A and B are shown apart, each in its own frame.
Chain A
Amino acid sequence: MNKLTSKLKGNKLAQIILLVLYVLITSLSLYLAQASVTAFLLLLFSLLLLYYTELPDRLKWLIAGVVLIGVIPFVSSTGPGYQSYMEVATVVGIYVAMALGLNIVVGLAGLLDLGFVAFFAIGAYTYGIFATGQAANFMPFGTFPLSGESFWIFILIGCFVAALFGVLLGIPVLRVKGDYLAIVTLGFGEIIRIVFNNLDKPVNITNGAMGLASVKPPEIFGYQFVYPNQFYYIVLGILFLVILAVRRFEFSKIGRSWKAVRENEIAAQSMGIHLVRTKLLAFAIGASFSGMMGVVFAAKQTFVDPTSFTLLESITILVMVILGGMGSVPGVILGAAVITILNLQVLTEVTNYLNQLSLDGVISFPEALAPAKMQRFIFGAILIIFAIYRPQGLIPSKNPVFDEESLKEGSKKHRKEQITVEPDKGFQA
């Protein structure tokens, strides 16, 4: 095995060939055996392999784009499981974007936010209220529901409203010390849920516990987005922008000041970083990703009610970030994908399998131990184990290291600087 990896290392051609072979084999098996969830998951796994190849970044993006836009929808499209695969992929995309948002708050800026799902709820309700007849109850002008074409504007509106709430929450809270922040955000998440649950009187804004039903689907030039395979492309588009933004932020001035604040507030302050402003920005940007995906979620589900936004959801997103690696973009994407697939596919499949076994009388399996009910147990265990044994997560974050000599030379000869990477020391202490 070691021999094999050492041979592969450095040999880009072999890597490409192996990767293409892998994608071909898995796509073929998915194409032929449509009901196989395993084949679908293995095909998704090719993206992780792609990450570990040593190809140039542009080529990686290109291949990922081809696999995501072309291969996955195409090979799964012929069978009966098409919509359910696309549903899973869409939900994965939604959670990846949210986890990337939380990653900015927790991973980069080091602020533990336990009420993150509140911003998701705000986004979802922003679209939900105006895309159903609900808004007519309190808006004196305009006709509601708005048409599906307003969805595209509402992505931006949801983004801004969530960011606004992030700032509103942040202004009072960010003055207190770190660990109080966890409690206050936890409280905020609950408050938002309780408020949405009870805001059907005196003016019926959110329709209370009944929720908002039949939210208008998105529409463009008369083309309606109804099925998961159509939402898949919307989510993919937003996700691309989100990843681009996160990569840009991470290595910019503001990203570096987030990391500085995370490591030592006092030292950061003495280097001229405005603490409150930096933290507020992290809160607002993280919240805005969540708000955007809230709008998409509302349109996809066509139904919004307060039970979708419980504490368990907030903790789920936190688990994604911790599992993948705080501050590491590829890690968080991996973590979000793993947890979502675990939630949607693996746990239910295993539960069905065990139920089937106990129906056949092979084993007696108590209902109480059904894996689908054990989310809290599994998430709790992941949090403890990763906190103790691997706080840097599955894929640790990396900081670029600039070689001083080559920088000096580079400035003389106007040559592009050499950038190498080394592991981020932040969470390994």
Chain B
Amino acid sequence: MLAEILQSLPQVLVDGIALGAIYAVIALGYTMVYGILELINFAHGEIFMTGAFIGVAMLILMTGMGWLAAMPAILALILVLVVTSILTGFMGVGIERMAYRPLRNSPKLITLISAIGVSFLLQDLVRFITEYKRGNYILTGPSMFNEQFSIKFSSISSSFSDAFFKTSTLILIIAVVIMMIGLDFFVNKTKWGMAMRAVAQDRETASLMSINVNKVISLTFFIGSALGGATGVLFAVQYGTIDPYIGFILGLKAFTAAVLGGIGNIRGAMAGGLMLGILEMFAAANLQLLTGGIFGAEYKDVFAFAILIVVLIFKPEGLFGKAVTEKV
């Protein structure tokens, strides 16, 4: 049994890192908003999904006009990424302005309910626009970056088999790393980043220090949503088919990743996302083997939620977070 697990391990790792990278960037969006507003932004998964749809729509449009053939594919992808992230960024700001800001002083239950409402509204909005335009709400993007590569793990030791991946996986991982380093630099080294950290620590004191709190919150939503939207495009390129309901379950898992890494902690969210991705791929590949065929790969979602529940019970502050004692 161990030999079989080892055999598939390189492939599991490659797939897991690709999936984990996606979780990590979405988890960033959750964790940033939670850090500042203490609100679970249920709509974040839907922003990711909308990003995927905008990206695919642009790619289809560009194919139709012949641009995609005229310019190098990587340039087209960068263009799509930039435009999508700006659009979803403004969408995030708009959602905050319309649905969350009026409720900032209400009980938290009410804000959560509003967030769920936004999430459902977006799902159906995207659903009917897509269905109206194309007759079907399941979209398949143009196939790009499909060249296969393999890493020869078998040359290291014969107990491993080779891992295969596509160019898109490579692009995904590189793009995610750039986004993460950029965000980390922004939050820790720039003046606006400092303002964000200050607002997260204490909103009222920050406003006394002449920080424009509303602007900082808008900026947080912009950055989180822009990153989420860009990840949506990368997801669509990597996995091909998208539908309006991908955002919810994926967002939920990304939230699990954020909790795993310690909510409010940006580097924790990155680590948590990668861990969750690898764990989930490992479970999908080996659950059947490990349990003697009782549980199959269809339980991988259950596995992810089980991690969430276990973390919440035993270490609610997450792996990298600091335990907060509540002051009365």
Contact = CB atoms under 8 A, between A and B. Distances in A.
Contact of A112 (B113, B122, B123, B313): B113
Q: Which 10 A-B pairs have the closest CB atoms?
A: A383-B117, A380-B121, A380-B120, A368-B131, A377-B124, A187-B305, A387-B114, A384-B117, A376-B124, A368-B132
A429 interface: yes
A202 B296 CA distance: 10
A194 B302 contact: yes
Given A194-B299, A198-B298, A266-B328, A183 B308 contact: yes
Nearest to B244: A376
Given A182-B40, A429-B106, A198 B312 contact: no
Interface stretch (B65-73, B97-105, B197-205): B97-105
Interface string B286-320: 00000001101011011001101100110010000
Contacts of A17: none
Interface stretch (A27-35, A135-143, A173-181, A237-245): A173-181
A396 to B, nearest CB: 14
Contacts of B131: 367-368
B308 A186 contact: no
A191 interface: yes
Contacts of B174: none
Contacts of B152: none
Interface string B246-259: 00110010011001
A364 to B, nearest CB: 12
Nearest to B34: A179
Interface string B112-153: 111011111111110110011001000000000000000000
Contacts of B328: 266
A155 interface: no
A282 to B, nearest CB: 14
11 contacts: A184-B308, A187-B305, A191-B302, A198-B298, A202-B293, A377-B124, A377-B128, A380-B124, A381-B121, A383-B114, A388-B114
A375 B123 CA distance: 11
B113 A387 contact: yes
A173 B308 contact: no
Nearest to A110: B109
Contact of B116 (A180, A318, A429): A318
A188 interface: yes
B124 A311 contact: no
Nearest to B312: A176
A251 to B, nearest CB: 22
Contacts of A180: 259, 312, 316
B113 A322 contact: yes
Contacts of B39: 179
Contacts of A322: 113
A187 B127 CA distance: 23
Contact of A178 (B108, B298, B305): B108
Contacts of B125: 377
Interface string B70-82: 0000000000000
A48 interface: no
B119 A184 contact: no
B326 to A, nearest CB: 8
Interface in A361-384: 366-369, 373-377, 379-384
Given A201-B294, A376-B123, 6 more contacts: A180-B312, A183-B255, A187-B308, A194-B299, A315-B116, A380-B119
B66 to A, nearest CB: 28
Nearest to A111: B109
Interface of A: 106, 110, 112, 114, 172-173, 175-180, 182-184, 186-188, 190-191, 194-195, 197-198, 201-202, 266, 311, 315, 318, 322, 366-369, 373-377, 379-384, 386-388, 391, 427, 429
A374 B124 contact: yes
Given A190-B301, A380-B120, A179 B112 contact: yes
Nearest to A369: B128
Nearest to B313: A172
B313 to A, nearest CB: 5
B124 A179 contact: no
Contacts of A373: 127-128
Given A179-B39, A187-B309, A388-B103, A380 B108 contact: no
With most chain B CB atoms within 10 A of its CB, the pick from A106, A176, A183 is A183
A188 B40 CA distance: 17
B64 interface: no
Contacts of A382: 117
Nearest to B125: A377
Nearest to B292: A202
A187 B120 contact: no
A215 to B, nearest CB: 25
A369 B133 CA distance: 11
B249 A391 contact: no
A339 to B, nearest CB: 14
Given A182-B40, A195-B302, A384 B114 contact: yes
Contacts of B124: 374-377, 380
Nearest to A175: B313
A370 to B, nearest CB: 9
B113 A198 contact: no
Nearest to A366: B132
Contacts of B98: 384
B110 interface: yes
B95 to A, nearest CB: 10
B302 A184 contact: no
B102 to A, nearest CB: 5
B119 to A, nearest CB: 7
A59 to B, nearest CB: 36
